[in-house]
Amino acid sequence: MKFGIHSMVWVGDWSPEHARHAIASTAEAGYDLIELAAIDPADFDVDLTAKLLAEHGIAATASLGLDAATDVSSEDPEVVAAGRARLRDALALVRDTGGTHLCGVIYSALRKYDRPVTERGLANSHETIAALADEAAASDITIALEFCNRYETNVLNTTAQTLEFIEAVGRPNVMAHLDTYHMNIEEVSMSEPVLAAAAAGRLGYVHIGESHRGAPGTGSILWDDFFGALASSGYDGVVTFESFSSAVVHPSFSNTLAIWRNLWTDNRKLATGALTFMRSHLRG
């Protein structure tokens, strides 16, 4: 099992200075991995990022949420094409930094919709993920689909929907990405979805996020249920801590996720505390 941390716990962009700070801080806090926030993969200095990861002995994954102009669940062919181009750029970032997973809301835009996804839009999303998975397989990269709450996507809101989507795509390297923040909103249990994804052989990535997106253990999530199921399922993949504060997170991302207040100010204390929390629960 590898313990990771989202890069936006440390920084709001990926300038050379911030890249050095985020990767060094990840190593100093005791994590194995950093999840790169690839909102715009073109913003990354890939060579520098790969060099810093190697220097500090840190692995990487990458995540992103598409926007309205790159929504692959759109019916507009030009919008879908733009989304597919961005996903290919993100996949190249993962590949060229030696990463293992591309995850997040990569099957639709990360935004509130005012209507259900259409049949054509869902088919576009299926086709996009299938093609992306085929390209990812050549570099042994896993595609992990993060279902989100109803206010952030209209395509995948639950584990069951995600497993159905994966079945439709039909690619062995497409997995379910479970996030406790979203599970706490949409699921009826914090344990059953974990066991269902594991039983299907599709539990591929985990985000640890508290009910208010702050420090784990300070909200309302039933952590014993979740971690108990994760342990009993035999999961040994990536477990990444994710938390956002408006003092740090990228401005556009902050608005998208409705991060209107500072949930914390000391990110080093937050990061070390979260790692202790995750390790202690999984050992228990």
CATH number for 92: 3.20.20.150
- Say how many residues make up the chain: 284
Indicate the number of domains in the chain.
1
> Which residues have a catalytic role annotated?
146, 242
Q: What is the pLDDT along the chain (284 residues), one digit of tens a residue?
A: 999 999 999 999 999 999 999 999 999 999 999 999 998 998 899 999 999 999 999 999 999 999 999 999 999 999 999 999 999 999 999 999 999 999 999 999 999 999 999 999 999 999 999 999 999 999 999 999 999 999 999 999 999 999 999 999 999 999 999 999 999 999 999 999 999 999 999 999 999 999 999 999 999 999 999 999 999 999 999 999 999 888 787 777 777 788 788 888 899 999 999 999 999 999 75
Question: Residue 34 has which token pair?
Answer: 């950093």
Q: Which domain holds residue 90?
A: 2-283
Nearest 5°: the CA angle 230, 6, 240 is 10
Contacts of residue 158, Cβ cutoff 8 Å, sequence gap at least 6: 147, 186, 187, 193
